Structure 1
Amino acid sequence: MIQFKDDIRIRQRHRQARIHWAHFWFIVVGILIILAAFILGYFYVSLAPMRQAENRVEKLVREKTSIATVTQVSVNYRKTTTYAVLGQTTTGTQKVAIVRNNKIKTYNRSSGMTDSQLKKLITNKFKPKKLYSANISEYQGVLVWEISYKGQDNKLNYLTLDFKSGKTYRAISGM
Structure 2
Amino acid sequence: MKKWIFIVSIVIVILIGIMVNVYLNAVEPIKTAKEKAENIAIQETSLVTMTDFSLYNGSYTYYVVKGLNEDKEEIIVWINEEERTFTERKVSDGISREEAIQRLYEEKSPEKVMRVQLGMENGVPLWEIYYRTEKNLINYYYVDFKTGEWLRDIQNL
Q: Is the pair's TM-score, using the shorter chain for normalization, greater than 0.5?
A: yes
Q: Deviations over 1:43-63 (max 9, x none)?
A: 212332332122111111011
* Rg larger for: 1
Q: The residue matched to 1:134 in structure 2 has which SS?
A: strand
Structure 2 residue runs of 5 or longer lacking an equivalent are none
Matched residue, 1:174: 156
TM-score by length of 1: 0.77
> Which structure shows the bigger proportion of residues in strand conformation?
2
> Which structure shows the bigger proportion of residues in helix conformation?
1
CA distance in 1, matches of 2:103, 2:136: 20
Matched residue, 2:120: 138
Matched residue, 1:107: 89
Matched residue, 1:150: 132
The 1:30–1:123 alpha-carbon spacing in structure 2 relative to 1, beyond 3 Å, is farther
Matched positions, count: 155
Instruction: Say yes or no: does 1:164 pair with 2:143.
Output: no
In the alignment, which of 34, 56, 81 is matched to residue 54 of structure 1? 34
The 1:32–1:137 alpha-carbon spacing in structure 2 relative to 1, beyond 3 Å, is same
Q: CA RMSD in A?
A: 2.1
- What percent identity do the matched residue pairs reach? 23
TM-score by length of 2: 0.85
The 1:139–1:150 alpha-carbon spacing in structure 2 relative to 1, beyond 3 Å, is same
The 1:43–1:172 alpha-carbon spacing in structure 2 relative to 1, beyond 3 Å, is same
Q: List aligned pairs for 1:7-156, cutoff 5 A.
A: 19=1, 24=4, 27-100=7-80, 101-156=83-138
Residues 117 and 129 in structure 2, CA contact (< 8 A), matched pair in contact too: yes
Structure 1 residue runs of 5 or longer lacking an equivalent are 1-18
Letter in 2 for 1:104: F
Would you identify which runs of 4 or more consecutive aligned residues in structure 1 move more than 6 Å?
A: none
The 1:98–1:24 alpha-carbon spacing in structure 2 relative to 1, beyond 3 Å, is same
